[in-house]
Amino acid sequence: MTERIEVRKTYKLFINGAFVRSESGRSYEVFSHDGEFLANVAHASRKDARDAVVAARAGQAVWAKATAYNRGQVLFRVAEVMESRRAQFEEELRRTENVSEKKARKAVDNAIDRVVWYAGWTDKLAAIAGANNPVAGPYFNFTVPEPTGVIAIMAPQSDSLLGLLSVILPAIASGNSTVVVTSFHRPIPAITLSEVLATSDVPAGVVNILTGDFSEIGTWLAEHSDVDGIDLAGVPVGDFATKLEALAASNIKRVARPFTGDWNDEPSLYRLRQWIESKTVWHPIGA
């Protein structure tokens, strides 16, 4: 009997709701914690990053117009699809992060629960972050939260699922769109998440996932003038993080600094509020 030839997987980028090859044609190999080959993964180029920003800008306009309740429904659908694929997520975490079956199961539980947590906050954010301000006069003064726009995210390098969701969810729950650079050595859970997003009613362009070297892609995104904010959660504290902050300041981006805590801690409303802008509206009181 002829020996079977193994079909090796080559993962693509996720841009504008579609799985596309890198414009550069580059890819790199991803291995398990014990050196076993897992897959070939696309290595995003500068043009791929630009394409992702264009897609994110178009997607953000659609996503921001959706009602907060609808965004919550869509995020809950993400949790439903993740639940149906939990065995795959658990296996990927075991092979890439060298954790036990029990810890992998707990990590997936926490990740799905986090999606549900943010889904529940979408239609409550206005009540928490907005206000009916007291004024002396025949008019109302309201503070209304609005999304910042397109957010570039440097995903955590070690916690490839819970950490990843912990930075994507607060941005999209409030109506922003994202361009996400995954963990370099552990990108596969993020790629599987992109497959979930593609079948969960999330509009094209709301989440764009790039695999590759964040030291390259992060620089391009930090200096891109059509990116409104950048989350440095997965960037080590040091000179490179400082460089990205300086590049972001050159075109007045909002910046979230590198994260040094534990992603397993309870989620905070602070992270949810960091990607919203407050708009004040005056309205005369009718007779």
pLDDT of res. 139: 86
Return the H-helix or E-strand segment holding 86. Answer: helix 86-97
Percentage, residues of the chain above pLDDT 90? 80
Query: pLDDT by residue (tens digit) across 149-202?
Result: 999 999 999 899 999 999 999 999 999 999 999 999 999 999 999 999 999 999
The confidence band for 1, taking pLDDT boundaries of 50, 70 and 90, is: low
**Where do we find the tokens 């997987």?**
9
Q: How far is CA 198 from CA 144, 195, 207, 251, 253, in A?
A: 31, 5, 10, 32, 28
**Higher-scoring residue by pLDDT: 9, 235:** 235
Rounded average pLDDT over 63-85: 97
What's the chain's average pLDDT? Answer: 94
Query: pLDDT by residue (tens digit) across 224-244?
Result: 999 999 999 999 999 999 999
Q: How far apart are CA 149 and CA 146, in angstroms?
A: 9
The confidence band for 287, taking pLDDT boundaries of 50, 70 and 90, is: low
pTM of the complete model: 0.93
> Domains in the chain and their CATH numbers?
11-284 (3.40.605.10)
Task: Pick the closest to residue 267 from 146, 170, 182, 201 (CA basis).
Answer: 170
Percentage, residues of the chain above pLDDT 70? 99
pLDDT of res. 124: 94
